[in-house]
Amino acid sequence: MSRNYLSINLTKEQQDFIQLLDDYEIDIFTGSDVENQLNKKIPNLKGILENLVHKEFLSRIENGKYCKSTFRNEHVIGTFMAQNSAIAYWSALNLHGLTEQFPNNIFVQTNKLKKNKSVLGTSYQFVKVTDYKLGGYQMQGHGNNQFRLTNIEKTITDCFDLPQYSGGYAELIRAFNQAEMKSELLIEYSQQIKNISATKRMGFLAELLQRKELGSFATHATTIINEKYTLFDPFGLEKGEFVKEWKLRLNISREDILSICNKQY
């Protein structure tokens, strides 16, 4: 936008604030973020922000949180809204190239309770987990477009832990088959989530799909098996083969699992 347009539509203090954001390359912020960066209080900051939102120079993300009207990185916005957060589950599967399906929501993992909401035309689903399930992050993007994303092994583990956020069980099986993973990280994250059933399912899959590089993970999984049989698909029917060594009931047959992965015996 031209300076002439700015001078006609904005007051001097509003122009100065927009210039400040440009000078410090700030795209997404709270008022206190800006003041902390300047190390000083900005007079009438609340009024400036309200007027800039009204004049559509800024967008309000939620109470006290703003971005420039041209900033629309939905993953950055999602993690900005929740403390101790990262893009996770189905959204992470998509970003890692492990599913071609696009979720209707952006899934954000956090240890804080936060209601799902729609912001700037994008729907966000916040998944609260206990503190010990946090971690396994990598940084994605650059500069103001940088955000936290669960790494591949943590994404797979999280999806088996809470498969209702994975985009469908068949899609999760395909993702496990395609993902290039390190056995030691799968062990670490499976211990972190403390979900025996999820670990059994992943261990069985590693063995069935002949993922030799995940051999030490499969061996680890056998050490935590309990006596209770678990459905392979937690959302499926009570039917199918009982697999004694894994204490699993295959309500999706071995043949169907391999077919999902386009594999053969």
Sheet holding 58-62, edge to edge: 28-30, 65-68, 58-62
Residue 143 placed within a domain: yes
Token pair for residue 61? 């993300």
**Considering 68, 96, 119, which residue would you say is the last residue of a domain?**
68
- Residue 135 backbone class (left: φ over 0; alpha: ψ -120 to 50; beta: rest): left
Domain that holds residue 151: 75-260
Are 111 and 84 within 8 A, CB to CB? yes
pLDDT for 103 = 87
Instruction: Let me know whether 23 and 89 are in one domain.
Output: no
- Of 49, 68, 87, the domain-final residue: 68
* Co-location of 53 and 140 in the same domain: no
C-alpha to C-alpha distance for 104 and 91, rounded to whole angstroms = 9
Question: Which CATH number does the domain housing residue 42 bear?
Answer: 1.10.10.10
**Residue 1, pLDDT score:** 44
- Do 187 and 61 share a domain, yes or no? no
CA separation (Å) from 217 to 104, 183, 186, 211? Answer: 33, 5, 7, 10
Instruction: Evaluate whether 252 touches 233 at the Cβ level (below 8 Å).
Output: yes
Residue 37 confidence (pLDDT) = 87
Determine contact, residues 102/115, Cβ cutoff 8 Å: no
Q: What is the pTM of this model?
A: 0.92
pLDDT at 8: 58
210 and 167 within one domain:
yes
Do 155 and 217 lie in one domain? The reply is yes
User: Any idea how long the chain is?
Assistant: 265
- Residues of the chain with confidence (pLDDT) below 70: 1-8, 263-265
pLDDT of residue 76: 98
